[in-house]
Amino acid sequence: MKKRVVCSILCAVMAIGLMSGCGSSSGGSGETNASAGGSSAEAAEGDFDSVSLKLSCNGTDTANDTKAAKLFAEKVNQKSGGKITVTVYPNDQLAGGNMSKGLEMLCDGTVDLDVHSTSIISNLDNSLMVSTLPWLFPDYQAAEDAFYGAGGEYIDSVLQKKGVYYLGAVHNGFKAITNSKHPIEKPEDLKGLKIRIPGGDFFSAFYEAFGASPQAMSWSEVFTALQQGTIDGHDNSLSTINSANVQEVQKYISISKHTYEAFTFMANAKKFDTLSQDTQDLIRECVEEATKEMNKQIAEEEAQLEKKFEEENGCEIYTFTEDDITAFKEVVQPLVDEYKGIYGSEACTAFGVE
């Protein structure tokens, strides 16, 4: 009798287990799809368009802008239930590596979405360079707050006049100065060095103030120019230096944090306006989620990158002290005062420039 009872109980347990397995089959499939897409976000409710969008960005496959763009694409696809697909084109490949042309393609609607740095979007309006003024932000959180606050609102107001919407931003990062000649610790150490800049009259004037020779150059050309000695150095965030392997051809890296740059997410206004409100809202939501997740990761990784550059690449790292920063600031303060007037009070107020 006892054996029959035990058997009955075992059969019941097995039956329940089988039913549970069948019931979770559908849910398991959904989780696999989310994992394959790189996002665990659940599909949101809304009247989403079935649309395929092109997103162009400048960085390599491992650069901050590209990683943020891909994370955004995964999120928006997942949350729309697969209705919205975004194809990411890194390295400005649709524009043949030309950053300025890449921005033009956004404006004329050749691409729907775009991610480019502050210095590149300033080609549309010079006042957008205000956020790159030397030592403006004390830390990454202050920069993020500005680009998702009054600063971001200002950028959007400027870009809308050019047929573009601002959606958000991810850290390009605080810049370090690299070169192949000698350590840069004092203002005079920059004298005579050929330093690549992405463009923009302020960056040119900044290095000229120290006696350096600024060289405007597209990012796709920089590694070869550094490797061949056509230029002596450049400045960039540690993550961008790493993603492009610049540390392999530059021995000296000074952690100056002299300027901050962001990668701005943008949309062609005409295309964006054709999308439903739910689709627009979801795109904006996913941009903010992706960029803020990446921002946290970027800030955490920088200390590890310094160690990597020293131990694996043999670079000499020098971190500016407060006294160093004061000395460098004194050289460029007249320039800062001049450009505050050029950028205008509205731009300066938006970004907290004193």
Q: Report the distance separating Cα 18 and Cα 144, nearest Å.
A: 50
Whether residue 6 lies inside any domain: the answer is no
CA angle 180, 183, 186 (to 5 degrees): 135
Can you give the residue range of the structural domain that contains 273? Answer: 47-350
- Residue 64 within a domain: yes
- Compute the distance between CA of residue 55 and CA of residue 243 in angstroms, rounded to an integer: 20
Most confident listed range (27-36, 43-52, 61-70, 274-283): 274-283
CATH code at position 243: 3.40.190.170
User: What is the rounded CA–CA span in Å between residue 342 and residue 354?
Assistant: 14
102 and 116 in contact (C-beta within 8 Å)?
Answer: yes
Query: Has residue 134 been placed in a domain?
Result: yes
Mind giving me the DSSP string for 111-130?
Answer: SSEEEEEHHHHTTT-GGGGG
CA distance linking residue 87 with residue 8, whole number of Å:
56
Q: In the predicted model, is pLDDT for residue 6 greater than 80?
A: no
What's the number of domains the chain is made of?
Answer: 1
Per-residue pLDDT tens for 178-221?
Answer: 999 999 999 999 999 999 998 778 899 999 999 999 999 988 89
Are 86 and 73 in contact, with CB atoms under 8 Å apart? yes
User: Any bridge partners for residue 260, and if so which?
Assistant: 174
Helix (H, G, I), strand (E, B) or coil at 236: strand
Distance CA 201, CA 339 (A): 10
Q: Tell me: the pLDDT tens digits for 224-243? A: 999 999 999 999 999 889 98
Residue 170 maps to a domain: yes
Taking phi over 0 as left and psi of -120 to 50 as alpha, with beta for the rest, 140 belongs to: alpha
Lowest-confidence segment of 2-6, 217-221, 311-315 by average pLDDT? 2-6
32 within a domain of the structure (yes/no):
no
In a domain, 21, yes or no: no
> Is the residue at 7 inside a domain?
no
Whether 184 maps to a domain, the answer reads yes
